[in-house]
Structure 1
Amino acid sequence: MLQPDGRATKARIGVLVPHMELVAESEFAAMAPAGVSIHAARVPLGPFGPHRETRPTDIREMVSAFAKPPDVDRAAAMLAAAPLNVIVFAFTSSSYLLGADADASLKTRLEENTGGIPVVIQCAAAVAALRAVGAQRPALVHPPWWPDVLDEWGVAYFRDQGFDVAGHGTAKLPSHQGEVDAVKLADWIAMHVPTQADSVFLGGSGLRTIGTIQELEAELCRPVITANQAAFWYAIGLAGVAVSSKSYGQLFDMDVP
Structure 2
Amino acid sequence: MIGQVGIGIVCPYDFALDRELWRWTPPQANLLLTRLPYAPLAVTLEMVRLVGEPDQLLPATQQLLAPRPAVLAYACTSGSFIRGLDGEKALCAAMIEAGAPVAVTTSGALLDAITALGVERVAIATPYQTAITQGLADFLSEAGRTVVGGSELGLTSGIESVPYDVTADLVRRADEPSAEAIVVSCTNLGTYDLIAPLEQELGKPIISANQATMWSALRLAGLPVIGPGQRLLAV
After TM superposition, the score normalised by the length of structure 2 is 0.91
Aligned pair 1:65/2:59, yes or no? no
Aligned pair 1:202/2:184, yes or no? yes
The residue type equivalent to 2:231 in the other structure is: Q
Structure-2 separation of matches of 1:175 and 1:109: 28
* Aligned partner of residue 123 in structure 2, secondary structure: strand
The residue type equivalent to 1:91 in the other structure is: C
Structure-2 separation of matches of 1:243 and 1:62: 31
Structure-2 separation of matches of 1:175 and 1:19: 13
Q: 1:21 to 1:130 in 2, by over 3 A?
A: same
Aligned pair 1:44/2:37, yes or no? yes
Aligned pair 1:30/2:23, yes or no? yes
Larger Rg: 1
Runs of 4 or more above 4 Å deviation: 172-175
Structure-2 separation of matches of 1:250 and 1:26: 21
Q: Write out aligned runs for 1:107-122 (5 A).
A: 107-114=92-99, 116-122=100-106
Aligned equivalent of 1:170: 152
Aligned pair 1:250/2:234, yes or no? no
Structure-2 separation of matches of 1:170 and 1:157: 16
Cα offset for 1:36? 1.3
Give aligned pairs, total: 235
Residue number among 91, 105, 110 corresponding to 1:106 in the alignment: 91
Aligned pair 1:131/2:125, yes or no? no
* Aligned partner of residue 53 in structure 2, secondary structure: coil
Q: 1:148 to 1:172 in 2, by over 3 A?
A: closer
After TM superposition, the score normalised by the length of structure 1 is 0.83
Q: 1:120 to 1:8 in 2, by over 3 A?
A: farther
Structure-2 separation of matches of 1:18 and 1:238: 22
Runs (5+) with no aligned partner, structure 1: 1-6, 49-53
* Aligned partner of residue 193 in structure 2, secondary structure: helix
What RMSD, in angstroms, separates the aligned Cα atoms of the two structures?
2.2
Cα offset for 1:20? 2.2
Percent of aligned positions that are identical: 26
